[in-house]
Amino acid sequence: MFSQRLKELRKSKKISMRQLGEVLGVKQTSISNWENVGTEPDYTTLVRIANYFDVSTDYLLGNSADFNDQESKEKREIALLAQALYKEILQHPHIKKQIEEDLLQYVHFLGYKNRGKGI
């Protein structure tokens, strides 16, 4: 399903595999493999593809027929923010452990706070 949807989206934008590869920072052969061989990109690249085409990762993977649902956009945004935050944390090894502990504590707090709300 991913290969078919990627090809459809790329063609709808009228861009070549090479052009898409340049946008995503991958080789044209990777795009070709995704579209023709059936391989799939890593999660970070999948999110970049979804953002570029303004679709959800669920749509790309065939888990949703709706290519642009708001919940998926929010999940992508959270994933990208978490990734950027973690990269920032890695640049400060002297406080890395404390920041990780604080973040985990906050996530647990959010879970507790929203318990019973269907989250």
pLDDT at 31 over 70: yes
Q: How confident is the model at residue 114 (pLDDT cuts 50, 70, 90)?
A: confident
Average pLDDT, the chain: 84
pLDDT at 107 over 80: yes
- For residues 54 and 47, the answer to whether their CB atoms sit within 8 Å is no
* pLDDT in the model for residue 97: 86
Over residues 41-51, the pLDDT tens digits come to 998 899 999 98
- For residues 47 and 79, the answer to whether their CB atoms sit within 8 Å is yes
How many other CB atoms sit within 10 Å of the CB of residue 28?
A: 14
Q: Give the integer Cα–Cα distance in Å for 48 and 31.
A: 13
Of 98 and 64, the structure prediction assigns the larger pLDDT to: 98
pLDDT at 116 over 80: no
Q: Give the integer Cα–Cα distance in Å for 67 and 60.
A: 8
How many other CB atoms sit within 10 Å of the CB of residue 17?
A: 20
Would you state the structure tokens that stand for residue 11, as one six-digit string? 């063609």
The reported pTM is 0.55
* pLDDT in the model for residue 6: 93
- What residues does each domain of the chain span? 2-61, 70-113
Q: How confident is the model at residue 14 (pLDDT cuts 50, 70, 90)?
A: very high
Q: How confident is the model at residue 23 (pLDDT cuts 50, 70, 90)?
A: very high
CATH class of 2-61: mainly alpha
